């Protein structure tokens, strides 16, 4: 389809108008701050939202949700971002392709007032997410494996781990995974049924068993999006590992890029010492005693419940090993999942996430402690 092209002057006016929306259609990682396709500038245009063409291109693989649930994500994202057919919408990209993919998608949903802008023409300031290096694109991981220079990588030892709830790797992992990946089970660093983090002494042994030192660059992912990889990232930061990165998305991000996979089960390669006393960053994880002080209003910190609404209100506990329903005292509910994940399972728009937190009553000037029914969120 053809789109009327607009220049920077029109786009600047659009950013100030309630009747216009500006949408970044590039890969979510570029919106976040990564330069993946030769962009002249990192980040995105201030005031723009995102609706990436890769969300639409992304093949459905996730075994944890139905296809109908997956398709609902697209509509919920439009609603979340307040995009309606009444809006004048400027779509921008840097390759002359992404914007047109999203334009076709929107046209099928009744959007007609669509325009095109070339991001390379933008000479103003750009904005990117703070600490975007925590979530790395598959392209970045490929560079590390190939021995090429990469942003935020010092060239030292690295480890790639696939994390799951099972003691042994699943068949999908055995059939094909990111080269060099080693399986880690959550049971190696958490304890059932509370799913609490094991003792510092046990964490040191866990690190040694998996060849992790304080100076190791650790890259983590899951086979299909699951929170286990994010939990391990928090645990490693608590321990003191300096460079911890989660693949933005899941194993499917690697497959989506067309990169080769490896079969089998790589063995762990232990080391003798973690190299530092644990914990180096104790505030990364909140222990039960500290959380209790928050519920009793003896702390200025905030507890944020990330469970579904039915669990927060007490209709169900949501877990077979938790007999009681309801919530902790003095907690805030903020579990609208569509703010946190994009349709391709990459991390959601950080700016919109912060606004969502504010709307839930979270004070961003204070410490925020997230939890769900199965441990840290």
The pLDDT of residue 299: 96
Q: What number is the average pLDDT over the span 163-192?
A: 95
Per-residue pLDDT tens digits for 322-360: 788 889 999 999 987 778 889 988 999 999 999 999 999
Spatial CA neighbour of 301 closest among 362, 359, 351: 362
Percent of the chain scored above 70 by pLDDT?
A: 97
The pLDDT of residue 64: 67
The pLDDT of residue 376: 41
**Phi, psi torsion values for 125, nearest 5 degrees:** -70, 160
| CA–CA dist 94, 102 (Å, integer) | 14
Strand order in the sheet with 375-376: 331-333, 302-305, 368-372, 375-376
Per-residue pLDDT tens digits for 106-127: 999 999 999 999 999 999 999 9
| CA–CA dist 146, 52 (Å, integer) | 27
13-52-371-332 Cα dihedral, nearest 10 degrees: 30
| Residue 357 structure tokens | 């937190």
Half-sphere exposure of 175 (CA within 13 A, CB side): 6
**With 70 as the cut, is the pLDDT of residue 375 above it?**
no
**With 60 as the cut, is the pLDDT of residue 377 above it?**
no
According to DSSP, the residues that pair with 347 across neighbouring strands are 341
| CA–CA dist 139, 152 (Å, integer) | 13
Per-residue pLDDT tens digits for 20-52: 999 999 999 999 999 998 788 999 999 999 999
pTM of the model: 0.93
């Amino acid at each position: 389809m053809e789109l009327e092209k607009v220049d920077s002057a029109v786009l600047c006016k659009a950013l100030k108008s309630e009747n216009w929306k500006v949408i970044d259609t590039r890969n979510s990682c570029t919106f976040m701050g990564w330069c993946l396709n030769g962009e002249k500038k990192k980040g995105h245009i201030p005031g723009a939202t995102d609706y990436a063409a890769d969300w639409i291109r992304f093949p459905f693989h996730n075994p944890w949700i139905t296809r109908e649930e997956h398709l609902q994500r697209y509509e919920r994202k439009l609603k979340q971002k307040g995009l309606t057919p009444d809006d004048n919408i400027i779509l921008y990209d840097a390759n002359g392709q992404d914007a047109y993919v999203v334009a076709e998608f929107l046209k099928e949903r009744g959007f007609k007032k669509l325009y095109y802008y070339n991001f390379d023409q933008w000479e103003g300031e750009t904005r990117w997410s703070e600490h975007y290096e925590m979530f790395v694109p598959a392209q970045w991981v490929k560079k590390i494996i190939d021995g090429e220079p990469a942003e935020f990588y010092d060239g030292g030892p690295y480890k790639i781990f696939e994390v799951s709830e099972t003691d042994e790797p699943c068949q999908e992992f055995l059939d094909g995974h990111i080269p060099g990946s080693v399986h880690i089970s959550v049971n190696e660093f958490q304890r059932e049924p509370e799913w609490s983090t094991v003792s510092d002494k046990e964490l040191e042994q866990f690190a040694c068993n998996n060849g992790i030192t304080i100076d190791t660059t650790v890259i983590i992912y899951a086979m299909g999006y699951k929170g286990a990889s994010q939990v391990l990232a928090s645990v490693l930061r608590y321990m003191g590992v300096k460079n911890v990165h989660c693949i933005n998305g899941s194993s499917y991000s690697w497959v989506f890029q067309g990169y080769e996979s490896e079969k089998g089960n790589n063995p762990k390669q232990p080391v003798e010492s973690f190299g530092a006393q644990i914990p180096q960053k104790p505030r990364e994880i909140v222990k039960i005693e500290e959380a209790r002080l928050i519920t009793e209003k003896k702390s200025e910190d905030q507890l944020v419940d990330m469970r579904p609404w039915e669990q927060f209100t007490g209709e169900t506990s949501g877990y077979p090993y938790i007999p009681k329903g309801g919530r902790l005292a003095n907690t805030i509910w903020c579990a609208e999942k569509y703010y946190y994940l994009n349709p391709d399972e990459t991390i959601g728009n950080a700016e919109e996430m912060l606004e969502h937190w504010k709307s839930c009553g979270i004070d961003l000037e204070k410490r925020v402690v997230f939890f769900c029914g199965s441990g840290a969120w």
